[in-house]
Amino acid sequence: MPEPPYSASGSLAAGCASRARGYARRHRRHERFDDTLAGTDAVPKTTILAPHGGGIEPGTSELCLAVAGYHPANLPQVPPAAVTYDYWMFEGIREAGNAALHVTSTGCDDGVAVSLCAGSLNALSLHGFDPAPEFPADEQIVLVGGANPALKDLLLAGLCDAHIKRLAAGTGEELNGSKPCNIVNRTLPVGDPPAPLGGAQLELSTPLRDAMFTENSRPRRKHATTQLFWTFVGVCRDALDRLEAEQSNSPPGLRCLER
């Protein structure tokens, strides 16, 4: 079987080489530094992912950046001094045929993506899907999946409050996102015995993503976000904020006791 284009063993070249192949990768791992004697630095809590960004599932790169705390147009923090999250994106940058670059989330072995998730308590991934034939072709809906029930519940409640149609992805369905090898679920093991909390996978229908931009083209999307785009981003960030607050009040255990 061919190696996935973001395989860790087949490293991505930068610049012209990436453009020639038709794909690219962007990521940000925020610097963490503490040389005080007053306490210890907290564990990074959340990573945001867009495994099928660019032209593969259009709009998910822009959503990934915004949920991580950066305006997709030129990457200033939004709002200034707000919480920012580490992020990782794999992007199709071909003029056409980007769907051929789609690799399942369970097949992601990019070293940066794996290490970011493995060092975070939580992860959230943004995806896109075509609603037909399971839903009407013009259905604007979000399927909420993943292995973290607490985060999924917070997202479902937030989407309900925002009047965005949502549905919990059914167990065993292709878009459920609950498999342990899904990159969004490969988070920091906690508890005794250690096990990852996992993350949440959001599948946005094509009509919903189209409605998030006044001009849905690769060069213009980042400049053409609508209020729906920012409402959705706000729901995601609020859910993460609530989850992280709970984890700060009752931190997951990191000790591993031998028996």
Q: What is the pLDDT of residues 154-172, one digit of tens each?
A: 999 999 999 999 999 876 5
Check: pTM over 0.75? Answer yes or no: yes
225 belongs to a structural domain: yes
Cα distances (Å, whole numbers) of residue 106 to 7, 29, 179, 226, 232: 12, 22, 7, 32, 25
21 belongs to a structural domain: no
239 belongs to a structural domain: yes
Question: What residues have CB less than 8 Å from 98, skipping those under 6 apart?
Answer: 22, 54, 55, 56, 92
8 belongs to a structural domain: no
Q: How far apart are CA 154 and CA 238, in angstroms?
A: 9
The confidence score (pLDDT) of residue 20 equals 54
Number of domains in the chain: 1
Cα distances (Å, whole numbers) of residue 1 to 4, 11, 36, 107, 113: 9, 17, 50, 12, 21
31 belongs to a structural domain: no
The confidence score (pLDDT) of residue 118 equals 96
Among residues 50, 214, 172, which one has the least CA distance to residue 123?
50
Residues in the chain predicted with pLDDT less than 70, given as ranges, are: 1-20, 37-41, 171-172, 259
What is the domain-level CATH number for residue 193? 3.40.630.100
The amino acid that residue 46 corresponds to is T
Q: For residue 129, what are its two tokens?
A: 């899907």
Per DSSP, 145 falls in state E
Domain that holds residue 55: 43-245
Average pLDDT taken over every residue of the chain: 89
30 belongs to a structural domain: no
The confidence score (pLDDT) of residue 16 equals 46
17 belongs to a structural domain: no
- The answer to whether 18 and 93 are in contact (CB under 8 A) is yes
Among residues 50, 39, 193, 21, which one has the least CA distance to residue 116?
50
251 belongs to a structural domain: no
